[in-house]
Chain A
Amino acid sequence: MIEVGRLCLKIAGRESGRYCVVVKKMDENFVMVTGPMELTSVKRRRCNIDHLEPVMETLNIKSDAPDSEILKAYQRANLITKLGLGPRKAKAAKVEKKPVEKKAEPRKEKPPEGKAEKREPKKKPESGKAVKRPAAKKAAKKPASKRAKK
């Protein structure tokens, strides 16, 4: 089942859940494997057969083929869209663009709100001062009355 060009899912380790291609047979237990890195972020490395789950698809590649040839083989087999792999850079670019647009809009709206909020508190301190002033007057009066009593 596991031969050169076989597409596999990695089952164990940090790369588990990612697709890879068998590039070369090392011995009974080990094979050489790549994603390639750009597509599925699986490094070209030796891998235990127990850590691979073969998938029905195969790629038409020679043994020990470079990553560029494997990418072409992916495109020929139309596997990139079928497996939902897609170029990661494009996805990342889309994600980056959206928040920038969202941020730009609220910035325009926010400043007037902020100003409105700032205006309101300005009025409050005035009222506060108005309250304080009479209190201060009372305070000023009280000692005077006390003095008068004395």
Chain B
Amino acid sequence: MPRPSLRSRTLRRIKKRIPGGASVTHYLRRKPSPARCAVCGRPLHGVASERAAKMKKMAKSMKVPSRMFGGNLCPSCARERLKEMARKNV
């Protein structure tokens, strides 16, 4: 039986086989939900969803696509927004 604090499902469980051959459950914090497009709501590729401590260590280019609206809009929605900008500007 695990510790009382580990009995809730707030922690995610991973089964690991340790070098001695026994299988053990490891308790880890859950990851935040994946980033979604602000317009259509579909999940974004190339956007890291990790705990804050891990996100701090990562480089910016690893967290977000280096496109305009990268990490905020999906590529197809960003393209439509840019088209609007082009038609309004000039």
Is A55 a contact partner of B89 (Cβ separation < 8 A)?
yes
The interface residues of chain B lying within 8 Å CB-to-CB of A82 are: 90
Q: Which residue of B lies closest to A84 (CB)?
A: B89
Q: From residue B56, how far is it (CB to closest CB) to chain A in Å? A: 24
Interface residues on B, range: 10 to 19
Residues in A with CB closer than 8 Å to B75 are 12
Give a binary string over A45-76; 1 marks a CB under 8 Å from any B CB, 0 the rest.
00000000111110000000000000000000
Interface pick from B6-14, B21-29, B32-40, B77-85? B77-85
Main DSSP-derived SS at the B contact region: helix
Chain B min CB distance to A32 (Å): 20
User: Which of B66, B83, B89, B90 touches A11 (beta carbons < 8 Å)?
Assistant: B83
Check B82–A53 contact: CB distance below 8 A.
yes
The stretch from A13-21, A90-98, A119-127, A139-147 touching chain B is A13-21
Q: How far is the CA of A12 from the CA of B69 in the complex (A)?
A: 11
- A9 CB-CB contact with B under 8 Å: yes
Chain A residues with Cβ below 8 Å from B89 are 55, 83
Inter-chain CA distance A13–B66, complex, in Å, is 8
Contact between B67 and A57, CB atoms less than 8 A apart: no
- The complex places the Cα of A83 from the Cα of B88 at a distance, in Å, of 12
Q: Pick the contact of A56 from B67, B79, B90 — CB < 8 Å?
A: B90
Bitwise, B47-83 to A at CB < 8 A (1) or not (0) is: 0000000000000000000111100000100110011
A-side residues, CB < 8 A to B, are: 7-9, 11-14, 16-17, 53-57, 82-83
Residues on B close to A: CB < 8 A? 66-69, 75, 78-79, 82-83, 85-87, 89-90
